[in-house]
Homo-oligomer: A and B are copies of this chain.
Amino acid sequence: MSDHLGWIAVDWGTSNLRLWAMDGAGDILARCESDLGLNKIADDGFETVLRDLVADWLPDDNGADSAIPVIICGMAGAKQGWREAPYASLPARPASLAAGAVQPPLSKAGLAVYILPGLKQVDDPDVMRGEETQLVGFMADNSDFAGWVCLPGTHSKWAHIANGTITGFRTYMSGEVFALLSQQSILRHSMQGADDAVAFDKAVKDVAVPSGDLLHRLFTIRAGGLVGANGGQTGAAQLSGFVIGSEIADIVARLGKGDSIALIGDGKLAVRYRQALSVHGFDSAIVDAEVATLGGLRRAYAVLTK
């Protein structure tokens, strides 16, 4: 394979990293994963970890005059990462994001490492690192898209896109709040029915009109069981519906004329967001998260190596 290797794509997150060997045309030759995310790496360990993981992919004669480009997005560029890639500012276009990449000094030749910047928003403070690359990948395949793109997760992100530009974004702590409340609050006693679709839809509907009563709604999950108001064991579905539903209701209230909604993600969580969006009347396709990440890294590779 090594004679076809064109470059290496890396998504280096907090808890793990994923790498792809790419040929010159941007097709995937191989992939690998590791749990050596930002949290597990000492200050100077990034280069060693990277070289270990890609060693088998490199040509035998790999040296300074044929350095393989490595394009990295994610937490490797955080202040506590490999080398800080300062946040880019809004509005952000794919080319300007790529132009913000930093190159960490390396101990030996053979690789040319580029770490992409995250994105910041000062007014209505917010930050992302990694998701901006997925958004770039999404835009590459959806050049006419105008509206909000959702990236579900522990801290879900919603970015507004228009004319091939990221114009703003909002992070919601929905996933972390769900985890803490379901495992450690008084609601832990009410966590049955995770997949009760009827209860989930009802909860999403209950919070469809933005209001300030989320902190009260949460307690009704517990109280509903005590007073017999809940139809069966539906606490987990209710909690999920209230949390995801209030997030979506807040975005729907911000939709401009002609704005669409799209989802980037995978697994059960993306399906749940899609279901909540359908309660609001939106039929949103789910773009695969890996496809979006690779699309964004491809775009950065093209900018950085031309």
Contact = CB atoms under 8 A, between A and B. Distances in A.
Nearest to A224: B125
Contact of A212 (B181, B229, B249): B249
Contact of A216 (B171, B211, B227): B171
A230 to B, nearest CB: 7
A223 B177 CA distance: 17
Contacts of A124: 220
A228 B120 CA distance: 10
Given A219-B173, A247-B215, A186 B155 contact: yes
A277 to B, nearest CB: 15
Interface size, A (range):
35 or more
B172 A219 contact: yes
B227 A87 contact: yes
Nearest to A245: B212
A155 B219 contact: yes
A184 interface: yes
A215 B172 contact: yes
Nearest to A211: B210
A57 to B, nearest CB: 34
Contacts of A228: 122
Given A246-B215, A250-B216, A253-B212, A184 B184 contact: yes
Interface of A: 87, 120-127, 155, 170-174, 176-177, 180-181, 184-186, 207, 210-216, 218-220, 223-224, 226-230, 243, 246-247, 249-250, 253
